[in-house]
Amino acid sequence: MTRPDTDSAASPARRPAPVVRARIAVYLTFLANGLGLSNLVPRYPEVLAHLGITKAAFGQAVMFSSVGALAAGLAASWCITRFTSARVASVGMIVLGLGLLGAGAAGSWLVLALCMAWVGGTDAIIDVAQNAHALRVERRWGSSIITSFHAAWSLGAVLGAVMGQAMAGAGVPIGLHMAGVLLVLTLVSAAAVPWTIKGPDSDDRPATASEDGPAGSPGPAGPRPGRPGARARLLTVGAVVVLGLMCAAAMFPEDVTASWSSLLLAEQGAAPGMVGMGLVCLQTTMIVGRLLGDAVIDRLGARAVIAGGGALVAAGMGTALAAGSVPGTLVGMVIAGAGCAVAMPVAYAAADDVPGMRPGAGLTIVSWLARVIMLVSPPVVGWFADAHGTWVALVYGLLGGAILMASWPVLRRGARAGR
């Protein structure tokens, strides 16, 4: 198997047009993925009121997105091998849009739960596929660009939340709103497909790393040569498990804004057109963090970035918790967004470089493990919210920061060099 000549790709002037187009295509894919679900978030209070259910029941319905992710997530590697990451990510976006349409038009708790399972399962496969294709493009590009793709996702999430708020404020029916989202996802995906990298994903797999790999590579600290095979496998499994935990912890603050911040802000007195601002504040900060993330990781190393990011997440959620007001909550989301911006890209890049795994396998397992952890979060938060108030969701986000601060040792030392 040959690896693309990254040295020849290092100069922007020498990068071939197909690689530039492929990078644009991945940006469009991440943008569309962020745009989808975030359109529905500002409509959650209306969905809850329309169905006449408790917060615990709502949390249980949201939990079904994790159930769907667990049921379908492990199929991502097979889908990528069979159909390629580009096709899976693009076609999957249309399937995701259909699930959002069903959730928006749901007339009962059961229909909502089933549609959330559909959305979660599809998104789990898309998530692995779009990151696998992003890493294919990164290897051909010749330098680190993975966090910039996640910045496009965050931009899509912000645009989707703003769009959702505008539709809610204008009184547009949720069903009609979600039909429009489906149309947008279809058009963006159709535009991206022709520019993606053709051929099997195995064509762009990285060479097996040495003991420490490239200095500061975000991959897991691998086993030393000469260790017994069983111990080497145990270390690999341990690294994958910790990377899955790191991914889940990075999702905690995002889940706070996606599932609970609109309810929390409504309780704190925010106007209907402002209840989606928690997601907007966090994702806007994440856009900036992800645009700067590659340079910061190269300079400071993945370990320092993850440990420091965890501290910022904890500080942001703590600020929102202590303030107990709309301004305090929004300021806290800004701080937390800066902390969790690059945690998931770092973990995914590390997972994709685990030696001895077929294309997409490391990403699939890490993503699946993260979603296993996320499975219990919505109902637990919902139960505590019913008993004590929606503010307990902020404690959940704070826990994510603490986990990030503890999980950094699995990453390699030093400042990352070019891939």
249-269 pLDDT, tens digit each: 998 998 888 778 888 888 888
What CA–CA distance (Å, rounded) separates 395 from 384?
11
Q: What is the pLDDT of residue 357?
A: 65
Residue 8 has pLDDT above 50, yes or no: no
Q: In 170-228, which ranges are continuous DSSP H helix?
A: 174-192
With cut-offs at 50, 70 and 90, classify the pLDDT of residue 129.
very high
Tell me what percent of the residues of the chain surpass a pLDDT of 90. 32
Q: What is the pLDDT of residue 414?
A: 54
The answer to whether 380 and 62 are in contact (CB under 8 A) is no
110-126 pLDDT, tens digit each: 999 999 999 999 998 99
With cut-offs at 50, 70 and 90, classify the pLDDT of residue 45.
confident
What CA–CA distance (Å, rounded) separates 53 from 336?
30
171-200 pLDDT, tens digit each: 899 999 999 999 999 999 999 999 999 888
With cut-offs at 50, 70 and 90, classify the pLDDT of residue 320.
very high
With cut-offs at 50, 70 and 90, classify the pLDDT of residue 65.
confident
Q: What is the pLDDT of residue 334?
A: 94
pLDDT, averaged across the chain: 83
CB atoms within 10 A of CB 187: 12
With cut-offs at 50, 70 and 90, classify the pLDDT of residue 216.
very low
Q: In 142-209, which ranges are continuous DSSP H helix?
A: 146-169, 174-192
Torsion, Cα 360 366 370 372, to 10 degrees, reads: 80
Q: What is the pLDDT of residue 209?
A: 42
- Please state which of the ranges 52-56, 398-402, 415-419 shows the lowest mean pLDDT: 415-419
Considering 82-96, 232-246, 403-417, the range whose residues carry the highest mean pLDDT is 82-96
What CA–CA distance (Å, rounded) separates 185 from 70?
24
Residue 224 has pLDDT above 60, yes or no: no
Tell me the residue length of the chain: 419
| Contacts (Cβ under 8 Å, ≥6 apart) of 236 | 220, 222, 223, 354, 355, 356
Q: In 256-355, which ranges are continuous DSSP H helix?
A: 261-267, 277-300, 302-323, 326-340, 343-352
Answer with the residue of higher pLDDT: 419 or 383: 383
Residue 86 has pLDDT above 80, yes or no: yes
Tell me what percent of the residues of the chain surpass a pLDDT of 70. 86
Q: What is the pLDDT of residue 59?
A: 81
Q: What is the pLDDT of residue 399?
A: 92
Q: What is the pLDDT of residue 363?
A: 81
As a whole number, mean pLDDT of residues 26-41 equals: 92
Which residue in this structure is represented by tokens 């303030």? Answer: 323
Q: What is the pLDDT of residue 121?
A: 92
Q: What is the pLDDT of residue 208?
A: 45
Answer with the residue of higher pLDDT: 204 or 275: 275
As a whole number, mean pLDDT of residues 72-89 equals: 89
Residue 130 has pLDDT above 90, yes or no: yes
Q: What is the pLDDT of residue 286?
A: 86
Phi, psi of 214 (to 5 degrees): -60, 140
With cut-offs at 50, 70 and 90, classify the pLDDT of residue 412.
low
Q: What is the pLDDT of residue 47?
A: 87
Which two structure tokens, joined as six digits, stand for 303? 């370990």
Answer with the residue of higher pLDDT: 88 or 77: 88
Answer with the residue of higher pLDDT: 311 or 65: 311
Alpha-carbon distances, residue 272 vs 49, 228, 243, 267, 390 (angstroms): 13, 60, 38, 11, 17
Alpha-carbon distances, residue 244 vs 64, 127, 327, 366, 373 (angstroms): 20, 14, 33, 4, 9
- Please state which of the ranges 33-47, 99-113, 187-201, 208-222 shows the lowest mean pLDDT: 208-222
pTM for the full predicted model: 0.73
Q: What is the pLDDT of residue 359?
A: 65
